[in-house]
Amino acid sequence: MTASSRAELATANRIVVKVGSSSISGESSWRIPMIVQALSSAHRRGAEIILVSSGAIATGIPFLALDSRPTDLATQQAAAAVGQNVLVFRYQEALRPFGIVAGQVLLTTGDLENPTSRSNARRAMDRLLSLRILPIVNENDTVATQEIRFGDNDRLAALVAQLVGADALVLLSDVESLYTKPPTDPTAVPIEEIPADADLSGLEFGASVVNSVGTGGAATKVSAARMAAASGIGVLVTSADLVGKALEGEPIGTWFAPSVGR
């Protein structure tokens, strides 16, 4: 049943969780066990969890002896090929103590736009979940082009949530909630809830940004959240550090109320 409020995340059956590169790569890789512990708690109560995880390129950078994120597509693809392997290994090692097996699913947005590929992806995901496997989804960065440049894993997470008929989507970021203006602005106020079909024209979420390890920003999360909410999926945007509280339904982050009757 669709989560109509953030409190219902504690009892939602099928939840998609998305985490970005900056939260789990490089010096931030210590968060992987923390995130996994929160996911395993929800998994233990019977929830079906799908993790959409960025970080392949960022994780692969040190193994290619690069000082920073590559700018050319071929090297990005090479970093992704190496990093994806390491990333899933780290997740599986963190999942091992909880007796949970991960399943890797690599997609592009094109896969979800093609009816045949979309049907195949849905069938595979449903079967993984029925086997109590935790799917770890990422863009197929070794073959992606536009996606690898613009980093729309937030959008991919929303598409995956739609694909599997998720009850809720949790978008994890570096800040606890969205604000009426950039958080650095002293007049910025945290946004607790955004009703379905709300007019957001007066708010300043900023443009998407590219940092040292990943891409994205508040604007991409708002866009993805609104897309999912419009299709009847409740969305919570909050900090990766608060993932445990998020999945327990505590009053944190920014909640995008789902459209009714979708």
| Domain containing residue 173 | 6-256
The residue with greater pLDDT, 212 or 155, is: 155
User: Does 153 carry a binding-site annotation?
Assistant: yes
User: Does 245 carry a binding-site annotation?
Assistant: no
Domain for residue 262, yes or no? Answer: no
Domain for residue 1, yes or no? Answer: no
Domain for residue 140, yes or no? Answer: yes
pLDDT given at position 200? 73
Domain for residue 25, yes or no? Answer: yes
Q: What is the pTM of this model?
A: 0.92
Instruction: Assign 236 a pLDDT band (cuts: 50, 70, 90).
Output: very high
User: Does 53 carry a binding-site annotation?
Assistant: no
Q: Which of 56, 139, 37 is nearest to 94 (CA)?
A: 37
State the pairing for strand pair 168-173/234-239. Answer: parallel
User: Does 185 carry a binding-site annotation?
Assistant: no
CB 216 within 8 A of CB 154: yes
Domain for residue 261, yes or no? Answer: no
CATH code, domain carrying 49: 3.40.1160.10
Asked if pLDDT for residue 97 goes beyond 60, the answer is: yes
Asked if pLDDT for residue 262 goes beyond 80, the answer is: no
User: Does 174 carry a binding-site annotation?
Assistant: yes
Measured CA angle at 228 (ends 86, 247), to 5 deg: 60
User: Does 141 carry a binding-site annotation?
Assistant: yes
- Total count of domains within the chain: 1
Other beta carbons less than 10 A from residue 33's beta carbon: 15
pLDDT given at position 207? 43
Domain for residue 139, yes or no? Answer: yes
Domain for residue 168, yes or no? Answer: yes
Domain for residue 161, yes or no? Answer: yes
